[in-house]
Structure 1
């Protein structure tokens, strides 16, 4: 009985032990909040601002993404930017400032985006943008994003004030037809009056939204009918398979920004067919010239573009295509431009296809700048051995072993094995 009581006391002491306490952590804050005393709206308006992590350490100027409904989409837009720019040297877009407009509640949101859209647009143009561009380093390149009513509003802004934003991204925009909202007439009255612009409209539509789809189709047809492209207006109208009304904002913002910055990343072509269809090496050179002109990069063709094309031909085991690409890329000095590891990876395709003489031609070129590469000397030994020149193969393998030993190369056992093979021993 006493033992049972002891067990009960132990059990109760465990059961009623105080839970682990955690030290209070600092708040996880994204960006900064500001308040604008709007004379246009007759009320204070809260905005949120996110500055790129490079803003404080540089003198660089940044484009600005304006996000309607910051109470929902401010964190989302910051996340999208990080996804687009997270890999140094392989960013899809440059970094940009994010400014979101907070709508305090659904009633206020509806009133501003539907009942007072002209005033709301005036607030953005006359109060918000001047405040942002007066306080922060900006390029004057601006984008506007909105979902649902805010998407329709963003497109209205693009039509009635086409020089205010360089691009507008709309997710499931509604309404876009006068039968749903007579005020949409402003957009369709304004579009034919545009004389010459250089901006982009992107409107993306999710599944199962019949009225949204109908409106987006109507706008697309109207832009075609009024020959908007001839006036410099570009647009993307796309259905988002697998996305429903509430999930469209991420896809629309990500795709819209990627489309606007379509020639910012290093070019990647996925097949020889795509390479030929787009115009071959001339297309690649023009891409980099336009990229340099727009973003200030150097105009030279990047080795990653050439390497990925050769790699795709090798993976598809298309020797003829591979040989054509190697011939085309000689004028770009590809073999000396590419990293040694990538060059050897590409040239191994010649060896797998019993083309040692072709491989050796490029190995010799590589040797001029990579004389201390054990892996290169081993590859040269393989080529000479395939050509039945054991004497030269032995010289190359010896050099590979010598360098591999000094450099503690993990492939050293392979180099030694190849040297033994060239010696005629086991």
Structure 2
């Protein structure tokens, strides 16, 4: 689903940057997708073009943002925007919102700047472009660099010289680091560095470099270097970078996204609440966000416990996540009824009665809640009270044309108050 969303976003953004929105009234309105910065470089002795994308709420916020630097911005600017838009979307939030800086490098100068004149281009990045971006925009120290093909070889050379210039580096279809350069990285790395390398066996031009780099890193582990090498063997030299950018960002921000589980069993296998508390503590320390378990994660686990019919986990979450139960999400008939019925199904009639009675105070016109409370009284043998609540549910249902009326009538008929 995420991959599909990414390509849909790419298509949308391509339309946005080259066209304008078209309403049914045929009125036209420009749509923002970024802007171009053109300046003279004293280092490169030429005019340089850079495309910049700012997060949607940049102007109205006071937040500082990580910066994603894209080499070969003439090709990968739109992909960078699309990937970060889809991954930081409201329900995904796999990565933080970022400023995107796409450096335009056209042939034939591109090969010179990434090859014979790479020292000058490194100086341009380090001493001109990055200071300019940091001085003129609200940035965080977190910088990510993406390079493809020649740009990947340049990027690997750059981090060999300046290991702490970027926190994350994505190399697609290229990259080369020798043993001496690796020792320099180890010696001068002042912070953790996240390195992601992607290639394909179909890329006969560069796959040997990817394999060699992976072997070097595997045989010479560095404490501060976190790396991953992945092959996408159905892709080619030209198509791999589009996947590499997506997968690379996911890897670099691997502990930013909120953890999810396919089952309560998986939650327990990962370490349960101690694991979760440690995850959010480290997440908060790295990214400067809250160090407590998020409401979304709490909601996810409560839902799983209900779906898995795991009473012990559910009871644990009811006690540990009492704060989230007071949020607006649970202030609804659906949730109050579902929680109460879960307790009833597991024979905790005290809790079930408590939830139903509290909910009826908030939602006095809910036939569903009165019927549920009737079931509780039936379970504990209080037939008169069960009869009273079933009757109340039927009365409300008849007035509101409730589709559940036949079930309420059947529940009433199931008790015999004459005995």
Normalised to the residue count of structure 2, the TM-score between the two structures is 0.79
* Structure 1 position 87 matched with structure 2 position 90: yes
RMSD across aligned C-alpha pairs, in angstroms?
A: 3.4
Distance 1:363 1:206 in 2: 60
After TM superposition, list the pairs within 5 Å mapping 1:15-414 onto structure 2: 30-87=33-90, 90-105=92-107, 107-172=108-173, 174-176=174-176, 187-188=181-182, 190-194=184-188, 196-228=190-222, 230=223, 232-240=224-232, 242-309=234-301, 311-312=303-304, 315=307, 322-334=310-322, 336=325, 339=330, 341-342=334-335, 344-345=337-338, 355=346, 357-358=347-348, 361-362=351-352, 364-365=354-355, 367-368=357-358, 371-373=361-363, 374=366, 375-386=368-379, 389-398=382-391, 400=393, 413=405
Deviation at 1:226, TM superposition (A): 2.7
Q: Cα deviations across residues 167-206 of structure 1 (Å, max 9, x unaligned)?
A: 111222x2537xxxxxx78845633543543121111223
Report how far residue 384 of structure 1 moved: 4.0
Per-residue CA distance 1:47-101 (angstroms, 9 max, x = gap) = 011111101111111111111111111111111121012226x522221111100
Q: Secondary structure at the match of 1:35?
A: strand
- Is this contact kept in 2: 1:285–1:301, CA < 8 A? yes
2 CA distance for matches of 1:59 and 1:216? 40
What is aligned with 1:13? none
DSSP-derived class of the 1:208 partner:
coil
Q: CA deviation at 1:164?
A: 0.7
SS at match of 1:246: coil
User: What's the counterpart of residue 17 of structure 2?
Assistant: none
Match of 2:16 in 1: none
Is the partner of 1:34 in helix, strand or coil?
A: strand
Distance 1:365 1:251, change over 3 A: same
Assess, with a 3 A threshold, how the Cα gap between structure 1 residues 68 and 358 changes in structure 2: closer, same or farther.
same
The Cα of 1:302 is off from its aligned counterpart by 3.5
Alpha-carbon distance between aligned partners in 2 of 1:26 and 1:287, rounded to the nearest angstrom: 44
Change (3 A) 1:369 1:187: farther
What is the SS of the residue equivalent to 1:95? Answer: coil
